[in-house]
């Protein structure tokens, strides 16, 4: 082949790969907001899933390529590898190992050779036969490529059930079968073929399966953290595990092959002799070293009081005994030692350095239990204050908010509820008494319970600013009678109000004017939001902005839920029962205003915050938040 032919062939191969990429991208268009493909190719059906694929590291990526190249699944290999690569590229917690896996996938995609039409047709036939075989064996688990959320939860539950039953099967000391439901068996072991844990063989009648695992590694991959439930030392001694499963009876039996150990008497004595020889050789250089330095270590002197022999050049300058503290009377009492201890040889290097003699006070401490106890013995060593021992700092500010949104009696607002009132109360926290010259909020709507007080407390919190705005709903612009009666927000109030995007912009500007956000909208200082429940930020605000394609500001990604057990119950020793009014009145404050008004509820929630601060509670961390995917985490709200 000439150079020109090689160049043209390479160019043709590149064009074919470009066509494959174009076809893949056409079926998997990216999300404009995130760049992540909307529908990556994956087969969530446990009956046809190949276990052990992924993009965790280079080794798993190489194994994924091998497993997807087997007969029956190689028809979808290209799309599977592309999907794995995209998942690794857009993973929210991408690691160095994932980037190495991406390199493996990129090398494979770059060298991918498109099969001929005949090969493609044959691969498709293999794949369809494989799917038909899997579907007939899976029974209820054959729910296709796009399962619902309930079906995925059912698959996870079945996998958990199968792992528990597999531990029970392997823990038996006799070959007794264990009943494993077919759905659980398929969810754990997948379809027929090669897997990361080993191999799954299925007969043509789909009535009998045989599982062969690759020893310890395969069993750990199957069981996950459930491997800890096996008897101690069992996993390390396994060579292979074979599981026979009857699909009709749904019964499984296991055959365990353990590693061979040489426990004969001859092996024991040979091993002991070998260890003895190795030990003798190991210390040979120490003996030689000791013979070379006998002239240094032979210098000794003996205490005339306690007869303790001080050996070595490092102790020749002692003016008192290191044991009893008696003064060195005779320096001529030097004797020769018949041998050199190997323990002293390691100190020969230090012998060249002159060592200061111990003082009588230090020497008296060497008497151990015979000496009189000192103050240090009674009190103990002084503990140094470490940085980690210091309590974490409390928040400087807390922004208390309570939204109001559209609602209807016994009917969910579709597609999402919309905020109609956006209030906030800014509380400043003090670790000591509030200074008399502190600038408090002068808004007439703020109760005196949140302003400066002459009451002396070790810590306190007061209101310094207020924000309140009505919001015009756009999806369901007409308020329901139930919503008007509940919140007292009329139709005229919201009709003349700005929409959520404008109010959110004004709110971020308000936080920036207080020094809580910088010009880029990033949080500045140590502060957090406080809510009475998780409905405000986690559900209403997050879901409305997501539905309207509005970015949620970064400052809303974490907050404090006062109703959380780590906050309210930990401080008061009781559950927050009876609603907001009952909880406010239980603190000694008076509930003021009309309930279900956003600003009124925010003010009364702030009263609970102030009472907790005054009674010693330290707000140091948030309790709920959103992860990198924008999904809530933390304890469930009440």
The span from the CA of 324 to the CA of 320, in Å, is 8
The span from the CA of 67 to the CA of 73, in Å, is 8
Spatial CB neighbours of 273, under 8 Å, sequence gap ≥ 6: none
Residue in 28, 128, 124, 44 with CA at minimum distance from that of residue 85: 28
Task: Give the residues across from 202 on adjacent strands.
Answer: 209
Structure tokens at 416: 């999402």
**For residue 566, what pLDDT is reported?**
83
DSSP 3-state of 480:
coil
Vertex 390, ends 384 and 392: CA angle to 5°?
165
Evaluate if pTM is beyond 0.85.
Answer: no
Sequence spans of domains, the chain = 3-139, 148-258, 293-379, 397-634
Q: What are phi and psi of 564, to 5 degrees?
A: -65, 150
Structure tokens at 136: 């007939």
Among 3.40.640.10, 3.30.930.10, 3.30.420.10, 1.10.240.10, what is the CATH number of 397-634? Answer: 3.30.420.10
Structure tokens at 372: 């009189």
Strands (DSSP E) contained in 276-353 are 300-302, 309-311
Residue with tokens 């933390």: 634
Q: What are phi and psi of 56, to 5 degrees?
A: -65, -40
The span from the CA of 397 to the CA of 557, in Å, is 16
User: DSSP readout, 67-100?
Assistant: HTTSTTTGGGHHHHHHHHHHHHHT-TT--HHHHH
The span from the CA of 330 to the CA of 303, in Å, is 8
The span from the CA of 38 to the CA of 197, in Å, is 30
Average pLDDT, consecutive stretches of 10 residues, N- to C-terminus, the chain (638 residues): 50 54 53 41 53 85 87 81 83 86 90 87 83 58 58 79 87 72 84 85 83 85 85 79 88 84 52 45 43 50 76 74 69 41 40 47 54 68 60 91 93 92 94 70 84 81 94 95 93 95 95 91 93 92 93 93 89 90 92 92 95 92 87 63
Render the burial of 605-615: b for 16+ CB within 10 Å, e for the rest.
bbbbbbbbbbe
Burial of 456 (0-12, 13-18, 19+ CB in 10 A): exposed
């Amino acid at each position: 082949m000439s150079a020109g032919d090689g160049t043209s062939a390479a160019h043709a191969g590149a064009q074919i790969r470009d066509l494959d990429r174009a076809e893949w991208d056409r079926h998997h268009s990216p999300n404009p907001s995130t760049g992540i493909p909307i529908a990556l190719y994956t087969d969530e059906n446990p009956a046809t899933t190949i276990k052990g694929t992924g993009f965790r590291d280079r080794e798993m990526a190489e194994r994924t390529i091998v497993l997807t190249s087997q007969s029956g699944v190689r028809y979808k290999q290209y799309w599977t590898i592309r999907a794995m690569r995209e998942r690794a590229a857009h993973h929210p917690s991408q690691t160095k190992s994932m980037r190495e896996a991406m390199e493996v996938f990129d090398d494979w995609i770059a060298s991918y050779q498109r099969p001929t039409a005949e090969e493609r047709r044959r691969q498709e036939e293999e794949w369809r036969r494989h799917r038909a075989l899997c579907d007939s064996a899976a029974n209820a688990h054959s729910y296709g490529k796009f399962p619902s959320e309930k079906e995925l939860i059912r698959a996870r539950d079945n996998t958990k059930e199968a792992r528990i039953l597999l531990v029970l099967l392997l823990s038996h000391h006799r070959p007794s079968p264990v009943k494993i439901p077919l759905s659980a068996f398929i969810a754990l072991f997948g379809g027929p073929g090669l897997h990361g844990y080993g191999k799954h063989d299925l007969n043509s009648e789909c009535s009998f399966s045989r599982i062969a695992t690759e020893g310890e590694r395969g069993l750990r991959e199957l069981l996950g953290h459930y491997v800890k439930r096996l008897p101690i030392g069992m996993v390390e001694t396994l060579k292979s595990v074979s599981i026979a499963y009857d699909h009709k009876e749904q019964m499984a039996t296991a055959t365990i092959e353990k590693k061979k150990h040489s426990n004969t008497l001859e092996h024991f004595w040979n091993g002991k002799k070998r260890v003895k020889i190795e030990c003798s050789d190991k210390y040979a250089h120490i003996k030689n070293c000791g013979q070379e330095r006998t002239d240094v270590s032979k210098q000794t002197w003996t205490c005339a009081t306690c007869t303790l022999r001080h050996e070595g050049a490092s102790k020749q300058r002692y003016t008192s005994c290191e044991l009893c503290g008696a003064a060195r009377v005779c320096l001529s009492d030097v004797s020769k030692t018949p041998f050199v201890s190997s323990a002293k040889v390691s100190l020969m290097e230090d012998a060249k350095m002159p060592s200061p003699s111990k003082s009588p006070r230090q020497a008296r401490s060497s008497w151990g239990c015979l000496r009189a106890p000192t103050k240090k013995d009674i009190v103990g060593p002084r503990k140094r204050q470490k940085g980690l021992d210091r309590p974490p700092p409390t928040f400087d500010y807390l922004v208390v908010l309570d939204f109001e949104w559209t609602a209807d009696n016994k009917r969910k607002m579709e597609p999402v509820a919309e905020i109609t009132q956006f209030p906030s109360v800014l509380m400043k926290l003090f670790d000591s008494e509030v200074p008399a010259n502190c600038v408090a909020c002068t808004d007439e709507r703020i109760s005196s319970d949140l302003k400066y007080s002459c009451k002396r407390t070790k810590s306190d919190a007061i209101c310094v600013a207020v924000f309140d705005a009505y919001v015009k709903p756009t999806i369901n612009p007409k308020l329901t009678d139930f919503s008007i009666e509940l919140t007292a927000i009329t139709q005229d109030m919201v009709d003349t109000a700005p929409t959520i995007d404008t109010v959110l912009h004004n709110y971020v500007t308000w936080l920036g004017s207080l020094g809580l956000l910088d010009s880029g909208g990033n949080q500045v200082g140590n502060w957090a939001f406080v809510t009475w429940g998780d409905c405000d930020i986690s559900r209403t605000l997050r879901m409305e902005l997501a539905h309207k394609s509005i970015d949620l500001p970064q400052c809303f990604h974490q907050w404090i839920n006062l109703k959380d057990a780590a906050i309210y119950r930990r401080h008061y020793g009781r559950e927050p029962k009876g609603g907001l009014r009952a909880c406010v009145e239980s603190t000694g404050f008076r509930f003021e205003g009309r309930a279900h008004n956003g600003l009124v509820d925010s003010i009364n929630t702030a009263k609970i915050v102030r009472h907790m601060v005054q009674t010693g509670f330290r707000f140091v961390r948030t309790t709920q938040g959103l992860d990198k995917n924008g999904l809530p985490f933390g304890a469930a709200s009440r």
